[in-house]
Amino acid sequence: MRKLSIKKAGAVCLALLTAAAALAGCGAGEAGTAKDSKTKVVLNEVAHSIFYAPMYVAIEEGYFEEAGLELTLVTGFGADKTMTAVLTGEADIGFMGSESTIYTYAGGTQDYVVNFAQLTQRAGNFLVSREPIEDFSWDMLKGQDVLGGRAGGMPEMVFEYILEKNGIDPRADVNIDQSIDFGSTAAAFSGGQGDFTVEFEPHATSLEQKGEGYVVASLGEDSGYVPYTSFSAKKSYLENNKDTVQAFTDALQKGMDYVQSHTPEEIAKVIAPQFAETDMETLTTIVNRYYQQDTWKENLIFEEDAFSLLQNILKDAGVLEQQVPYEDLVTKEYAKKAAE
């Protein structure tokens, strides 16, 4: 059995994911039936976020339906839960950070999960301070208390990657609190915990609107291009459902084309039904923030240099010792056809 080395936080994630793999006998199987007018596909997303706007554009503009697909979207609320859904066959396709596919592969999963389409190319979170800082520099975090993310997850690893790029030791120079659940850090910050917090939207903007915090840095801008999230499926599903995966990828590419050719205001209007609890002004502000930092790729092709960068980040974070083969965990077949 293939078994590569995973350390510390990666091992924790691995334990959850490989346990799920043990339960996975047969997957969702061939999507749909001969009687169905459309092929059924269950997509499990790691979170429901404006960060993933192109996917919601594809849904709201009917691109999946046009491709002959009946899409069911489920929110997993965490990469471990999304990966578990894919491994056990509860979902056909997962949308999450591709580090999870590395963890399961390195742990020896035989029917491992392969990335076939990359959506975001920058981190989607922001550093929020208690007071406005006009000329922020990362060395201002030395000796400060920061509310961070889950060990082994992309938000935390990218944060630590930026600190190291700026000559800061994440373990010695900064007090990073990783004990708070994802989605609860903004509330903890409002309650007085931490000097800074790392937040996704809409929490970053919400803190600003309430006067309880101020965005001082974009992790997406300061980390550079990073393969943050991608769509993936079990190797067996890709082998047995090639037409379905191609149709799915084609629909996604139309969503990518839309955000490249429309304004933040137009994008916000299209995806508004997905975020009924968010007013249009806030929604547009958040879309514009992601738009301006070049969050979304022009195509869905997951290039090898991006995958290598991801593995270097994992190694720097201490959760991966040995790199895994790009050829095993990424296929460009569907994304390249969709881009043509």
What domains lie within the chain, and their CATH numbers? 8-122+226-339 (3.40.190.10), 125-223 (3.40.190.10)
Count, residues in the chain: 340
* Cα dihedral 225/158/251/78 (nearest 10): 180
Q: Give, for all 340 residues of the chain, the pLDDT tens digit.
A: 454 545 544 544 555 455 555 544 444 444 444 445 899 999 999 999 999 999 999 999 999 999 999 999 999 988 899 999 999 999 999 999 999 999 999 989 999 999 999 999 999 999 999 999 999 999 999 999 999 988 877 889 999 999 999 999 999 999 999 998 877 899 999 999 999 999 999 899 999 999 999 999 999 999 989 999 999 999 999 999 999 999 999 999 999 999 999 999 999 999 999 999 999 999 999 999 999 999 999 999 999 999 999 999 999 888 898 899 999 999 999 999 999 9
Three-state DSSP at 168 gives: coil
The reported pLDDT for the residue numbered 185 is 93
The reported pLDDT for the residue numbered 154 is 83
Q: Element (H or E) spanning 116, and its range? A: strand 113-120
The answer to whether 87 and 24 have CB atoms below 8 angstroms apart is yes
Q: Edge to edge, what strands does the sheet with 113-120 contain?
A: 69-75, 39-45, 93-96, 229-234, 113-120
pTM: 0.85
